[in-house]
Amino acid sequence: MIMFYKSKPSMEGLNPVKIIREALAETLVYYYPYAGRLIEWPDNKFMVDCTAEGVVFVEADASVGIDQLGDTVQPPCPYPELLVSDVPGSDGMIGCPLMLVQVTRFKCGGFVLAIRFNHVISDALGSLQFVTTMSEMAKGAPTPSILPVWKRELLTARNPPHVTHAHPEYEVEGKSIIPSSLNDKNLVRRTFSFGPKEIKTIRKNLPAEVRSASRFDLITACLWRSHTRAIQFDPDDDVRIMCMVNVGGKNCLDLPSGYYGNAIICPAKVSKAKILCESPLSYAIKLVKEARRQATPDYSRSTIDFIATKERPKLTSPWNFLVSDTSKVGFDEVDFGWGNPIYGGTMYGGTLHYMVYARYRNQKGEDVMVVPMTLPGAVMERFEDELRILLCDLMKNSSSLSPIMVPSKL
């Protein structure tokens, strides 16, 4: 997670490093498990040993102004090693610090706050809760506005486990052969941006039954279909769309306010690769919507029980297209006294089969959905072609044709 802050006249002379370091120390009083270390118990279970050893904090300075970074503040960050230092012994799992925090001051008076969380402890909303408490402490609050709740037992499996649904998100493709296109280890990262004009034009050229689909559904369907065509799966391969959904809210598991553990499930829908690639976009949109709608209380409990019957089943595989939408989480609204960041959210944007969506406000003041993609070079070229063809086909009858924005290849 990373946040870029511009200078603010009323904060001139104040040191963001000192303020954030002290706020971090105060926050760890309430979120004391983060100051501990992971240990592994029998049955491959992780537990936190609350040793109070603390987290890693790094102070750094940059010789440029934050405005000079331009659009490179959006993911994927082209200079991650400068904003998140590679501190020896800080990035392991067992017996290592559970968090690394780095504050980098810029010569203009702005700064960057980057935090590497251990995902075993918190999901995105839990991490936001921690950072929000830091911002409150930085501005002088005596206590957090929301007190943290540990209670991981709320999401333990039933005894005995009671799996009531099929869970294709965890199925392993046993018969299919990994496409040769994925053997190339020369990976490239590119960012694709979808603004209001693109979304509006795509929507108005869809059949009426899917025209009300959300921005997330539209973008995900476009990307999944283009991604599948670019990789060139065997036509009979089963491919899956998987959407990360937080199920801790009142409409699902109703976890207590302040709970900051992982409350994420990844419901999936399956299609034959040939059917997905040859069907209209509306087919993919319907599958994306159906995947998300599966996130009910019963499905969530079934997922917990299913995982308990397996040994850490894997979510990612070449046949899975896993998507996490962090655009509305709220990292871009965390104020340490310098106002909201010009960008706040994911730093990297995912991996080969895992996409993280972020929100970025462009120079026109528009909210843009930013999607960093990582693919082998040849696959990326085909992906761009497929996405361009798809969008042109959708918009060929539109008077408001606007091509998708493809920023720098950094």
Residues carrying an active site annotation: 119, 335
How many C-beta atoms surround the C-beta of residue 14 within 10 A? 13
* Cβ pair 75, 346 in contact under 8 A: yes
Pairing mode, if any, of strands 2-5 and 111-117?
antiparallel
Separation of alpha carbons 95 and 36, rounded Å = 9
Tokens representing 270 are 């399956």
Q: Look at the chain and count its residues.
A: 410
DSSP for 277-344? HHS-HHHHHHHHHHHHHT--HHHHHHHHHHHHTSSS-----TTEEEEEE-TTT-GGG--SSS-S-SEE
250 Rama class: left (phi>0) / alpha (psi -120 to 50) / beta = alpha
Tokens representing 309 are 């019957």
Residue 110: what are its φ and ψ, rounded to 5°? Answer: -80, 175
